[in-house]
A = this chain, B = another copy of it.
Amino acid sequence: MGAIRFELIKTCKQSGARLGKLYTPHGEIQTPIFMPVGTQATVKSMTPQELKEINSQIILSNTYHLYMRPGHKIVEKAGGLHKFMNWDRPILTDSGGFQVFSLGPLRKITEEGVEFRSHLDGSKHFISPEKAIEIQNSLGADIIMAFDECAPYPADRDYVKNSLERTTRWAKRCKDAHKNSDRQALFGIVQGGMYKDLREQSAKEIMDIGFPGYAIGGLSVGEPKELMYEVLDYTTPLLPKDKPRYLMGVGSPDDLLEGVIRGVDMFDCVLPTRIARNGTAMTSQGKVVVRNAQYAEDFTPLDPECDCYTCKNYTRAYIRHLIKANEILGARLITYHNLYFLLKLMENVRNAIKEDRLLDYKNEFFRKYGYTL
């Protein structure tokens, strides 16, 4: 008996998108879903209460950051990540692989694992597949991720092939090391860069090991959007229909819609929270860079079509003032709105799938949002 169960409710007749339910130890998730990112055991500027207000079903947290600070042993002593951060709904933790590989010259990859220096104090550390699972077992998220290598873009075929084959060997080691498969579901990650045959090889190898869910890694790493959609076009059909599919690191409205249409169930991205802190809102009319001078005397809401707390109570002029003055409330109000906007988008997407009209919804959304592919 595994930690999670996935139920494919239906497939949109118009688009092929999937509507599903994911049952986890901390409750059900309606898919497709966007997962807000809480890197350091907090979705930046938000309380768990507010995350619930805007209907966040699941959040993501970062293993590398929590390992570094406060340390996974402290989180374990607190009773696990849910208790530590006061969030009783599902959590997914990444493996730390992506962050460690991003350290560039500070890290050295061997078959055994990755040696690296802390971005905080320069101290030396070593994370192997076994260690990544040990840390995630301590944190106790409902869904945990295999320790993989995410190849950069562009990367030549040989590099990507070697990298995906090591990712396969590491995935096997992760599965062997995982101690809590009754209460934490370990997802495998398909790599293979922008090469169709390598995606096929990776998908086959990872599925041969067998996992309760599959992620597509190595996308949204700098390649053109069209290329990402093309890779998705041939990768998602390789994956089993009865397991959830997670596209890592993707979260712009257009990518979410295109991903769902290609059969993806789960997404995460720092985009909505990061641009919020810089003073940019996602709205039904496209991006609004509210720190710009043109909004100094604009007494309308961030998004006139939105009914979130921010849009019901505050003007662009006020939020611009807060952002210019470096006030925390500015980051809070835009973060709240941006997450509400994306979660509402995904709710609309689920309703459109239910009614077999996701392509219509997409066209309608983009007409206002100003997106042209």
CA distance A194 to B222 in the complex (A): 66
Say whether B69 contacts A321, CB under 8 Å.
yes
CB-defined contacts of A313 to chain B, threshold 8 Å: 48, 86
Give the docked Cα–Cα distance between A279 and B373 (Å): 47
Closest beta carbon of chain B to A165's beta carbon, Å: 36
A85 to chain B, nearest CB (A): 7
Q: Does A44 contact B (CB under 8 A)?
A: yes
Which residues of B lie under 8 Å from residue A65 when comparing CB positions? 325
Q: Does A136 contact B (CB under 8 A)?
A: no
For the complex, is A19 an interface residue (Cβ under 8 Å from B)? no
Most buried by B among A46, A77, A296, A329: A329
Distance of A85 Cα from B319 Cα, bound (Å) = 9
Contact: A329 with B47, CB < 8 Å?
Answer: yes
| Contact residue among B49, B77, B321 (Cβ-Cβ distance under 8 Å from A70) | B321
Q: How far is the CA of A86 from the CA of B317 in the complex (A)?
A: 12
Size class of the contact patch on chain A: 35 or more
Task: Count this chain's copies in the assembly.
Answer: 2
Bound-state CA distance A281–B219 (Å) is: 44
With A321-B40, A321-B69 known as contacts, the answer to whether A297 contacts B328 (CB < 8 A) is no
Say yes or no: B78 contacts A40, CB within 8 Å. Answer: no
Chain B residues near A70 (CB-CB < 8 A): 296, 317, 320-321, 324
Tell me which of B74, B86, B318, B332 contacts A85 (CB under 8 A): B318
12 contacts between A and B (CB under 8 A): A41-B318, A41-B321, A42-B322, A44-B327, A44-B328, A49-B309, A70-B296, A74-B297, A77-B299, A78-B318, A84-B318, A86-B313
